[in-house]
Amino acid sequence: MASTDNRPLSPHLQIYRWPLSMLTSILNRVTGVGLTVGTLVLIYWLIAAAAGPESFATAQALLGSWVGRLLLFGWTWALFFHLCNGIRHMAWDAGWGFEIPTIDATGWIVVLASIVLTVTAWVLGYAAMGVL
Ligand code: HEM
């Protein structure tokens, strides 16, 4: 046996897997920035509504296109992810949930809850429009 066999290995780029806590942390920042952009779009939509029927129709056409709906779907998920992870942050601020198994469990809860809430919101939205 070579003397180098039992040496600890440094993370290898091709086999390194992101820990869930790292992914949720990065996603919190990405969704936070995304929500800032989404808020600007919301302001545009409100201004268009106040400016009159023609500009509102343009805004509706833009946001109602498939690209617009895809973006709105993304923003819906960003809002729910950021909201759920924000509640997770509040628990941490209160000193709860720092054990690694708990951090992993709450991370999965945030990911799953954000997906379920996003799909539910869109199903309810389409149902309210009478499409479903
Ligand atoms: C449209 C609404 C929102 C916008 C635009 C927004 C935006 C942001 C941005 C830009 C950050 C900084 C990300 C970073 O630098 O890492 C952030 C962090 C944070 N947000 Fe929001 N946010 C929104 C809603 C919320 C809500 C509803 C909650 C709570 C339920 C929340 C909780 C937090 C927390 C706890 C952090 C700090 C996370 C940390 O310490 O790393 N945010 N948000």
Q: Tell me the percentage of the chain whose pLDDT exceeds 70.
A: 98
Pinpoint the alpha helices (H) of 2-99: 20-51, 53-64, 66-93
- CA 32 / ligand 1 centre spacing (Å): 5
Rg (the chain; Cα; Å): 21
Q: List domains and CATH numbers for the chain.
A: 20-128 (1.20.1300.10)
Q: Which residue from 45, 27, 1, 126 is spatially nearest to 85, judged by alpha carbons?
A: 27
Global pTM value: 0.88
Pocket lined around ligand 1, Cβ cut-off 6 Å: 28-29, 32-33, 35-36, 39, 82-83, 86-87, 89
Q: Say if residue 13's pLDDT is above 70.
A: yes
Evaluate whether 35 touches 78 at the Cβ level (below 8 Å).
yes
Q: Kindly give the interhelix angle for 53-64 and 66-93, rounded to the nearest 10 degrees.
A: 80
In this predicted structure, what is the pLDDT of residue 1?
55
- How far is it, in rounded angstroms, from Cα 114 to Cα 124? 15
As a whole number, mean pLDDT of residues 20-45 equals: 98
